[in-house]
Structure 1
Amino acid sequence: MLRISDIGYSVAGRSLLEGASVTIPAGHKVGIVGRNGTGKTTLFRIIRGELGLDTGEITLPAGAKIGGVAQEVPSSETSLIDTVLEADTERAALLADTSQDPTRIAEVQARLADIDAWGAEARAAQILRGLGFSHEDQQRPCSAYSGGWRMRVALAGVLFAQPDILLLDEPTNYLDLEGALWLEAYLAKYPHTVLIISHDRGLLNRAVGHILHLADKTLTYYTGGYDTFAKTRAERRAVQAAAAKKQDLQRAHLQSFVDRFKAKASKAKQAQSRVKMLERMETIRAPEDAARTVFTFPEPEALSPPIVAMDNAAVGYGDRAVLNRLNLRLDQDDRIALLGRNGQGKSTLSKLLAGKLQTMEGRVISSSKLRIGYFAQHQVDELHLDETPLDHLRRERPTDAPPKLRARLAGFGLGADQAETLVAKLSGGQKARLSLLLATLEAPHLLILDEPTNHLDIESREALVEALTAYTGAVILVSHDMHLLSLVADRLWLVKDGHVAPYEHDLETYRQSLLGTEPKAAKPAKPKPKQLSQDQIKELRSEVKKAEARVEKIEDMREKLAKKLADPALYEDARIGELTTWQKKYAEVMEGLARAEDLWEKAQAKLDAARP
């Protein structure tokens, strides 16, 4: 059991934790969430004993081993498999024991058997394979890999060592979709306690059973995954807001009586009584809403379809083709997610679409007016650390006045303070925002995003979803965030074995196929419908948009009714009839929402079936 008791911690005069307490039973899988800058990573450092507390204490189980991913894996000549095996220091020490004492030899052998030392290499290889390393890769030295890949090796090492309390800080930031899904499944079965800082909703819904929320300098423990936490917290905030509003009305009523009658002798006692009631009344504070995260993408003008068409194209590096026989088409309203294991060519296809690679065979035909925005993971690292965000924008827009440049920065959540802060001092999320702004500055007709959510908190990811949904250009998306993919992409392309083809199933089926849990008896594929004309496809798209509008309208009604039902005053005996009426209306709206969503799904299915 991990016990955090009334802890307080401040840095540079700023308090991060005050009177925070929580008890985490052994074996619990816990996701730690909170806005960037609230102190989640600091909490990990406190648990590891790297930082001293101002107040309170942390109690760990006797003899418990705490493990986390090292910040950097040395670029050594040791093979990947041996690096991971060395992470289990107890096993390494036992194997290195050269004692000749028979009793000691027996003790060593018994302990090696207890920790399954002889099956260790197979376990290490399985973990490395899950994180994207083939058998051949595992024999290569660490020095053959970049920093991001070495971080995967560090993650493999700590998973192999199996500490009693495993601390993971944004582990999916350096994983692709396949690695992230494997990690989800692995953590769900991990035999000990797991604390994981993450902004990945899929992981927080499937790999953990509890959420620890760090906000307002305190800790709150919730049972369930992230979606359950979000719903429970929203309900609590609605009740709290309603209670605060009700109390404000009570205060106003009491104060009005005092103000009216405090000077009248006949009412003096009653007025004094109400003054005492006001003094005793413990203030219920309405929950404070943090500043809403936003992204504002400029709108491109419409181009005639298709904006990009590939005719039997091949692309690769040097003389080696990575992708062949590409016959693909992009329209301006496409939202396409690229699926495929690491190394299959997703980034190669992205670079071809972005014009950063040329075809080896065939051709790519693009609209003459096509503008392309490209965001890749490494672009955050290419920002000028000794310049401010304002400097970056000034270079791209030298004739724009400073207020206009600041407005652009504000449209991506970079306020006045960040505008003139050196990039070196910005957080990872703020750097990602700046890179996204630079990628979309020219109002691109095609936006290519390669892992755009790394370093973004959950609120920022939701804002990105909203921005991409409203965006009128085409989107090509590569991401390990299945929540983002499911909300943004309406088409899936699978990059595999040198080819790119539409993926006929959904994301959940793809997830199951990666984990080896897909249904064994697949239904036979339906015959493809007859090719429709562009006018017919436009009609289907119009039908989908109308259906979406219906769903949004009813969803707005549902939210208003939910807020109404969250009012505690509605549950008083005198208003029970009114409560019944509102509950009936809510049930009717929910029925209407189900019908509207069914119509939308059917319209979307028709459109998907009509696309090439």
Structure 2
Amino acid sequence: MLQIRDLVFDAWGRRFFDQATVTLPKDAKVGLVGRNGVGKSTLFRLIKGEFVPGSGELSLPKQARFGSVDQEHPSTPVPLLDTVLAADVERASLLEQLETADPEHMGEIYNRLIEIDADRAPSRAAEILAGLGFSNADLARPMSEFSGGWRMRVALAAALFAEPDLLLLDEPTNYLDLEGALWLEARLRKYPNTAIVISHDRELLNNSVDHILHLKDGKLDLYAGGYDSFERQLTERLRLQESMRAKIEARRAHMQSFVDRFKAKASKARQAQSRMKAIAKLPPVAAVVEEHVAPFTLPSPERPLPPPLLRFEDAAVGYGGPPILRKLNLRLDLDDRIGLLGVNGAGKSTFAKLVAGALTPETGRFHRSQRMKVGWFHQHQIEAMDPTDTPLEIIRRALPHETEARRRSKLAQFGLGFDKQDTTVANLSGGERARLLLNLVAMEAPHLLILDEPTNHLDIDSRRALLEALNDYEGAVILITHDRSLMELVADRLWLAADGGITPFEGDMEDYAKFVLDRARAAARAPTQVKGEPEPAPPPPPPAKAKVPTGPARRRAETAEAALARASEAVAALDAKLADPATFKDPAKAADLGRQRAKAQAAVEAAEQEWLAAQEAYENLKASAG
């Protein structure tokens, strides 16, 4: 579908693409991945013709249509459904022609409308809109009544409805809630044409795409499979690359030593010249350089508080009018990891404000430990940052009594090096701003962390670093996120905000995904919905028996598995060094490596025992949960 040959593109004083070449199969679903700032969005702009390459070419089949979601749909008086239907340009043009066509041409127009299934278009558009969170009552509302975030969803709906031959989506889940992300994941799997998706959502890249396009060092490499498969293939490729580099360097060194010894001898001059020519022909193999990802610093509370941290008894909260949430009967303890589910507008952010102390209950009873410290991160903090501020000025206000060296050291721990500390917020990336704020809200070792969409600006490796930090953190967590992978690996229990309340959801994320998709299908079929009334959410499907929370056991097993993999890699690295004859030219170094090898093997055996115990405990817990 898309061919890129020897693409070179320079801009803003740097090279984004350097002889990049790749061919995408027809109808492939491709996840475009790479570190923030490497040029993923730039590639989209090159494909669309907004940028001109320095050399090379990008080619699509003749008359191929491409579509993308570049900005929110404009505010117009046109109804929502008509706005989406207009995205199918051919259908709209045929219907317009039909109004003025003479009788001999009307048959041709009707035949073409039948070919493109024009009669089904309104129901198909309504189904897409329902999946993205719009009600049937919204279909007749003018676009001017929707906020910017909802108009972004309209732009996405229009792109999906038009079904272009090449669909370009840049972080489509960033303006969706979890429910919308789950629906989009299922929709992309069924997309009939080629799609390229820039995303840091691991679940979407595992479940919705069949190829991963990796952008690094100006090159494009295509891998078959989802993201987990890509990681395995990339790891093996880098291992082989490093092994080949070591062999070539050893061969180079061997021939160079011959040249150095005999180039001055007349009897060996010809052989020395031959070796020099052979050295020049050896292919260069770049050393594998691991990209460092700064960890997140989420210190655990020093002193635990007596349970519960929070308790609500028949509580209600709002903003002065009718309550947004009512009949809250919930309890939160120090070791709770709560995943808060629900569509946008169901009251998740209101509940976060209530727990954080920004709102107080209007009725009912509310217990809260007076000594409890809360760290609260919400996505609007990033938007509200002063663009002229700098990280150093921000941390000076947060740590007024610390020395300048201590403040700079703290910023470096956050992943903001010296060169970034005096940079204005306007010139920091979204990921850098998110890192700064996430670390700041956790700096005082809170007993409770409330995280509202913490991953919007983080790449996959940074999301993994956040996950590891959360699994090490020993306080309570309330998590609101559209990142299904993070929700599954952090949350032990799920609460559902729906129908003006918050209640425990008796199921896991797979149950909830099924519930969301079933609800979207039911909403698309519903003939009417009363405007102005909150959409009642059907009760979640009750399991055959109450599920035992398996999150802690699963996290323990995954942590143990990761530790075992690290220990095994350490042994393999030492074995590679000990297999090199050059190592034994230095007996002391060889002996030290042998001692390290013995310690590393002992670490492998200990990690293996822990993994077996953790895995057995997890499997037993899953079996008891049914």
Q: Which category describes the TM-score, using the shorter chain as reference length?
A: 0.7 to 0.9
User: Could you tell me whether the CA contact under 8 Å between 1:296 and 1:467 is conserved in 2?
Assistant: yes
- The yes-or-no answer on 1:129 pairing with 2:149 is no
- The yes-or-no answer on 1:470 pairing with 2:481 is no
Aligned mates of 2:459, 2:247 — CA distance in 1: 33
Q: CA deviation at 1:421?
A: 1.8
Counterpart for residue 484 of structure 1? 486
- The yes-or-no answer on 1:557 pairing with 2:574 is no
Q: Could you give the per-residue CA deviations for residues 533-587 of structure 1, whole angstroms, max 9, x where no partner exists?
A: xxxxxxx98x9998777555534334345667999989xxxxxxxxxxxxxx9x9
Q: For 2:323, what is the secondary structure of its paired residue?
A: strand
User: Could you tell me whether the CA contact under 8 Å between 2:548 and 2:621 is conserved in 1?
Assistant: no
Q: For 1:373, what is the secondary structure of its paired residue?
A: strand
Q: CA deviation at 1:80?
A: 1.6
Q: For 1:398, what is the secondary structure of its paired residue?
A: coil
Aligned mates of 1:251, 1:478 — CA distance in 2: 55
Counterpart for residue 235 of structure 1? 236
AA at the equivalent of 1:406: R
Q: Give 1:456-467 correspondences, 5 Å limit.
A: 456-467=458-469
User: Could you tell me whether the CA contact under 8 Å between 1:235 and 1:566 is conserved in 2?
Assistant: no
Counterpart for residue 63 of structure 2? 63
Q: Give 1:21-100 correspondences, 5 Å limit.
A: 21-97=21-97, 98-100=99-101
Q: CA deviation at 1:501?
A: 3.1
Q: Could you give the per-residue CA deviations for residues 322-381 of structure 1, whole angstroms, max 9, x where no partner exists?
A: 333323222223222112233332222212111122112222222222111111121111
Aligned mates of 1:365, 1:350 — CA distance in 2: 15
Q: For 2:324, what is the secondary structure of its paired residue?
A: strand
Aligned mates of 2:576, 2:139 — CA distance in 1: 56
- The yes-or-no answer on 1:444 pairing with 2:446 is yes
Q: For 1:143, what is the secondary structure of its paired residue?
A: helix
User: Could you say if the C-alpha distance between residues 241 and 57 of structure 1 is closer, same or farther in structure 2, counting changes exceeding 3 Å?
Assistant: same
Aligned mates of 1:528, 1:17 — CA distance in 2: 50
Q: Could you give the per-residue CA deviations for residues 159-200 of structure 1, whole angstroms, max 9, x where no partner exists?
A: 111111100000000001110010011111111110111110
- The yes-or-no answer on 1:595 pairing with 2:605 is no
Q: CA deviation at 1:268?
A: 5.2
AA at the equivalent of 1:176: D
- The yes-or-no answer on 1:196 pairing with 2:213 is no
Q: 2:411 aligns with which of 373, 386, 409?
A: 409
Q: For 1:53, what is the secondary structure of its paired residue?
A: coil
Q: Could you give the per-residue CA deviations for residues 386-425 of structure 1, whole angstroms, max 9, x where no partner exists?
A: 2222222223333333332222222222222222222122
Q: Identity over the aligned pairs, expressed in percent?
A: 51
Q: Give 1:540-551 correspondences, 5 Å limit.
A: 551=561
Aligned mates of 1:501, 1:439 — CA distance in 2: 27
User: Could you tell me whether the CA contact under 8 Å between 1:558 and 1:590 is conserved in 2?
Assistant: no
User: Could you say if the C-alpha distance between residues 464 and 512 of structure 1 is closer, same or farther in structure 2, counting changes exceeding 3 Å?
Assistant: same
* More moved, 558-567 vs 400-409: 558-567
Counterpart for residue 168 of structure 2? 167
Q: Give 1:246-261 correspondences, 5 Å limit.
A: 246-261=247-262
Q: 1:385 aligns with which of 374, 377, 387?
A: 387
User: Could you tell me whether the CA contact under 8 Å between 1:352 and 1:359 is conserved in 2?
Assistant: yes
Q: CA deviation at 1:523?
A: 5.8
User: Could you say if the C-alpha distance between residues 232 and 350 of structure 1 is closer, same or farther in structure 2, counting changes exceeding 3 Å?
Assistant: same
Q: CA deviation at 1:225?
A: 0.4
AA at the equivalent of 1:198: S
Q: Could you give the per-residue CA deviations for residues 213-260 of structure 1, whole angstroms, max 9, x where no partner exists?
A: 111101001100011001100111112112222333333333344444
User: Could you tell me whether the CA contact under 8 Å between 1:300 and 1:444 is conserved in 2?
Assistant: yes
Q: TM-score, normalised by structure 2?
A: 0.85
* More moved, 255-264 vs 557-566: 557-566
User: Could you say if the C-alpha distance between residues 467 and 523 of structure 1 is closer, same or farther in structure 2, counting changes exceeding 3 Å?
Assistant: closer
* More moved, 11-20 vs 100-109: 100-109
AA at the equivalent of 1:194: A
Q: 1:376 aligns with which of 375, 378, 383?
A: 378
Q: For 2:405, what is the secondary structure of its paired residue?
A: helix
Q: Give 1:331-342 correspondences, 5 Å limit.
A: 331-342=333-344
User: Could you say if the C-alpha distance between residues 527 and 569 of structure 1 is closer, same or farther in structure 2, counting changes exceeding 3 Å?
Assistant: closer
User: Could you say if the C-alpha distance between residues 103 and 588 of structure 1 is closer, same or farther in structure 2, counting changes exceeding 3 Å?
Assistant: farther
Counterpart for residue 579 of structure 1? none
Counterpart for residue 108 of structure 1? 109
Counterpart for residue 294 of structure 2? 293
Q: 2:544 aligns with which of 524, 535, 538?
A: 524
Q: CA deviation at 1:287?
A: 1.7
Q: CA deviation at 1:296?
A: 1.7
Counterpart for residue 533 of structure 1? none
User: Could you tell me whether the CA contact under 8 Å between 2:557 and 2:615 is conserved in 1?
Assistant: no
User: Could you tell me whether the CA contact under 8 Å between 2:563 and 2:607 is conserved in 1?
Assistant: no
Counterpart for residue 313 of structure 2? 311
User: Could you tell me whether the CA contact under 8 Å between 1:2 and 1:59 is conserved in 2?
Assistant: yes
AA at the equivalent of 2:479: L
Structure 2 residues without counterparts, runs of 5 or longer:
522-539, 581-601
Aligned mates of 2:542, 2:401 — CA distance in 1: 59
AA at the equivalent of 1:54: G
Q: For 1:357, what is the secondary structure of its paired residue?
A: coil
User: Could you say if the C-alpha distance between residues 567 and 200 of structure 1 is closer, same or farther in structure 2, counting changes exceeding 3 Å?
Assistant: farther
Aligned mates of 1:545, 1:15 — CA distance in 2: 41
Aligned mates of 2:202, 2:617 — CA distance in 1: 24
Q: CA deviation at 1:592?
A: 5.9
User: Could you say if the C-alpha distance between residues 599 and 60 of structure 1 is closer, same or farther in structure 2, counting changes exceeding 3 Å?
Assistant: same
Counterpart for residue 586 of structure 2? none
Q: CA deviation at 1:272?
A: 4.6
- The yes-or-no answer on 1:496 pairing with 2:498 is yes
Counterpart for residue 11 of structure 1? 11
Aligned mates of 1:139, 1:407 — CA distance in 2: 56
Q: CA deviation at 1:107?
A: 2.6
User: Could you tell me whether the CA contact under 8 Å between 1:242 and 1:566 is conserved in 2?
Assistant: no
User: Could you tell me whether the CA contact under 8 Å between 1:177 and 1:480 is conserved in 2?
Assistant: yes
Aligned mates of 2:196, 2:457 — CA distance in 1: 18
User: Could you say if the C-alpha distance between residues 527 and 330 of structure 1 is closer, same or farther in structure 2, counting changes exceeding 3 Å?
Assistant: closer
Aligned mates of 1:405, 1:225 — CA distance in 2: 41
AA at the equivalent of 1:69: V
Q: CA deviation at 1:433?
A: 1.9
Aligned mates of 1:553, 1:158 — CA distance in 2: 43
User: Could you say if the C-alpha distance between residues 233 and 564 of structure 1 is closer, same or farther in structure 2, counting changes exceeding 3 Å?
Assistant: farther
Q: CA deviation at 1:521?
A: 10
Q: For 1:156, what is the secondary structure of its paired residue?
A: helix
Q: For 1:321, what is the secondary structure of its paired residue?
A: coil
Aligned mates of 2:67, 2:512 — CA distance in 1: 32
User: Could you tell me whether the CA contact under 8 Å between 1:66 and 1:167 is conserved in 2?
Assistant: yes
Counterpart for residue 534 of structure 1? none
User: Could you say if the C-alpha distance between residues 428 and 352 of structure 1 is closer, same or farther in structure 2, counting changes exceeding 3 Å?
Assistant: same
Q: TM-score, normalised by structure 1?
A: 0.87
AA at the equivalent of 2:567: M
Q: For 2:318, what is the secondary structure of its paired residue?
A: strand
Q: CA deviation at 1:522?
A: 7.5
Q: CA deviation at 1:265?
A: 5.8
User: Could you tell me whether the CA contact under 8 Å between 2:297 and 2:443 is conserved in 1?
Assistant: no
User: Could you say if the C-alpha distance between residues 449 and 607 of structure 1 is closer, same or farther in structure 2, counting changes exceeding 3 Å?
Assistant: farther
Q: Could you give the per-residue CA deviations for residues 420-465 of structure 1, whole angstroms, max 9, x where no partner exists?
A: 2221222222222232233223332211111111021111111111
Counterpart for residue 223 of structure 2? 222
RMSD value, Cα = 3.4
Q: CA deviation at 1:208?
A: 0.6
User: Could you tell me whether the CA contact under 8 Å between 1:67 and 1:165 is conserved in 2?
Assistant: yes
User: Could you tell me whether the CA contact under 8 Å between 1:239 and 1:567 is conserved in 2?
Assistant: no
Q: CA deviation at 1:271?
A: 4.6
Q: CA deviation at 1:608?
A: 9.4
